[in-house]
């Protein structure tokens, strides 16, 4: 009889009362969230989006497609003005080389900028990227030969690792209640950049011939007919740089010093009294809330 009673004793009898109560409260929270999803009701308040940091990140995301696409309407004519080929049928080859050099170097350096943001923080990398885009875009507008154009576009892509860093920063600024809404802003801004980039390049390139009443006497734009769209595109990144310098917070709070656990900076402080949850009745293992938190990341 004693053997039977010991084997059939419920597991909750071995759990301290305070842990058992916490475990039941967790189960109730899960049930409440499940009911809210089924019936379409909200049982929690949505965290407001951080407006100013989100605006700066939106400018960062907006500037990338803008700086890629603004040259597409005039890059053919730019290569033609370089006089690098006698046959105009070959112009498209060099125009494609200029356009693709941006994403080629960005592809090579994207992981590097992600590593640097983990080591030194999101904010300095984003601000450095915005300043790099601004300078390289202005230098591209001063292109007088093919080599200079390719170098400046490659430099723009090399210094522009902001897309991935901005997404990481947004993930750290938001939580599960507003994260979807925050990331939807990124898609919206990317679409705007693709729309306005070609418009800027098409309307503002070679302004002396297109708008002689306004720019007819500007000797600088006669010498550099493609500088004006570069200036407008660079001003977008420069605006994000200025606002971000004063308004953008740092979200990367912790970093790992080395592989030794004792010298590792903890992302989550240890729980003084971990709440244990048991799975199964045979061969179970203890599971803590800290494990749940770590598994979320």
Tens digit of each residue's pLDDT (9 = 90 or more) over 75-86: 999 999 999 888
What's the whole-model pTM score?
A: 0.69
State residue 18 phi and psi, 5-degree precision: -70, -35
Instruction: Using pLDDT thresholds of 50, 70 and 90, give the confidence band for residue 290.
Output: very low
Query: Domains of the chain: which residue ranges?
Result: 51-247, 268-297
Which of 45-59, 87-101, 194-208 has the lowest average pLDDT?
45-59
pLDDT for 39 equals: 54
3-state helix/strand/coil string of the chain:
CHHHHHHCCCHHHHCCHHHHHHHHHHHHHHHHHHHHHHHCCCCCCCCCCCHHHHHHHHHHHHHHHHHHHCCCCCHHHHHHHHCCCCCHHHHHHHHHHHHHHHHHHHHHHHHHHHHHHHHHCHHHHHHHHHHHHHHHHHHHHCCCCHHHHHHHHHHHHHCCCHHHHHHHHHHHHCCCCCHHHHHHHHHHHHHHHHHHHHHHHHHHCCHHHHCHHHHCCCHHHHHCCCHHHHHHHHHHHHHHHHHHHHHCCCCCCCCCCCCCHHHCCCCCCCCCCCCEEECCCCCCCEEEHHHHHHHHC
CATH topology of domain 51-247: Growth Hormone; Chain: A; (1.20.1250)
Q: Which of 32-41, 85-94, 98-107 has the lowest mean pLDDT?
A: 32-41
CA atoms of 132 and 150, how far apart (whole Å):
16
For residues 92 and 15, which has the higher predicted lDDT (pLDDT)? 92
Residue 52 to residue 64: CA distance in whole angstroms: 19
The candidate with the shortest Cα–Cα distance to 122, out of 77, 166, 79, is 166
CA distances (Å), origin 126, targets 7, 101, 247: 61, 21, 13
Q: How many CB atoms lie within 10 A of CB 159?
A: 21
Supply the pLDDT for residue 248.
Answer: 86
The number of beta carbons lying within 10 Å of the beta carbon of residue 22 is 17
Residue 55 reports pLDDT greater than 50: yes
More confident residue, 2 or 93: 93
Whether the CB-CB separation of 63 and 166 falls below 8 Å is answered with no
pLDDT of 53: 87
Residues contacting residue 1 through CB under 8 Å, at least 6 positions apart:
none
- Cβ neighbours of residue 284 closer than 8 Å, sequence gap 6 or more: 278
Nearest CA to 60 out of 114, 105, 121, 126 is that of: 126
Contact 162, 28 (CB under 8 A): no
Q: How far is CA 136 from the centre of its chain?
A: 20
Nearest alpha carbon to residue 192 among 66, 72, 284, 93:
66
Question: What count of residues does the chain have?
Answer: 297
What pLDDT is recorded for position 1?
A: 47
User: Residue 177's pLDDT band (boundaries 50, 70, 90)?
Assistant: confident
Choice between 290 and 63, residue whose per-residue pLDDT is larger: 63
Q: Which residue has the tokens 């801004």?
A: 189
Residue 128 has pLDDT above 60, yes or no: yes
Q: Hey, what are 60's tokens?
A: 């960062």
- pLDDT given for residue 75 in this prediction: 94
265 has a pLDDT exceeding 60: no
């Amino acid at each position: 009889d004693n053997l039977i009673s010991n084997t059939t004793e419920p597991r909750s009898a071995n759990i301290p009362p305070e842990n058992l109560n916490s475990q039941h409260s967790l189960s109730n929270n899960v049930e409440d969230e499940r009911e809210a999803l089924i019936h379409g009701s909200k049982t929690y308040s949505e965290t407001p989006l951080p407006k100013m940091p989100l605006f700066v990140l939106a400018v960062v995301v907006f500037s990338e497609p803008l700086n890629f696409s603004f040259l597409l309407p005039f890059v053919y004519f730019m290569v033609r003005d370089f006089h690098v080929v006698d046959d105009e049928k070959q112009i498209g080859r060099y125009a494609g080389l200029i356009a693709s050099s941006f994403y080629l170097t960005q592809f090579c350096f994207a992981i590097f900028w992600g590593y640097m943001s983990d080591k030194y923080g999101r904010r300095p990398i984003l601000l450095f990227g915005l300043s790099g885009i601004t300078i390289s875009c202005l230098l591209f507008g001063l292109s007088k030969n093919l080599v200079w154009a390719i170098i400046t576009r490659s430099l723009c892509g090399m210094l522009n690792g902001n897309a991935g860093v901005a997404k990481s920063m947004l993930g750290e600024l938001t939580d599960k209640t507003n994260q979807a809404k925050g990331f939807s802003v990124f898609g919206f801004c990317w679409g705007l950049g693709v729309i306005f980039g070609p418009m800027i390049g098409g309307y503002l390139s070679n302004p002396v011939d297109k708008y002689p009443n306004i720019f007819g006497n500007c000797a600088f734009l006669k010498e550099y007919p493609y500088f004006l769209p570069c200036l407008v595109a660079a001003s977008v990144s420069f605006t994000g740089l200025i606002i971000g310098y004063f308004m953008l917070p740092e979200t990367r709070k912790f970093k790992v010093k080395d592989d030794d656990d004792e010298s590792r900076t903890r992302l989550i402080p240890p729980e003084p009294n971990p709440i244990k949850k048991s799975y199964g009745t045979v061969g179970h293992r203890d599971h803590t809330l800290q494990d749940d938190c770590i598994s979320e990341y």
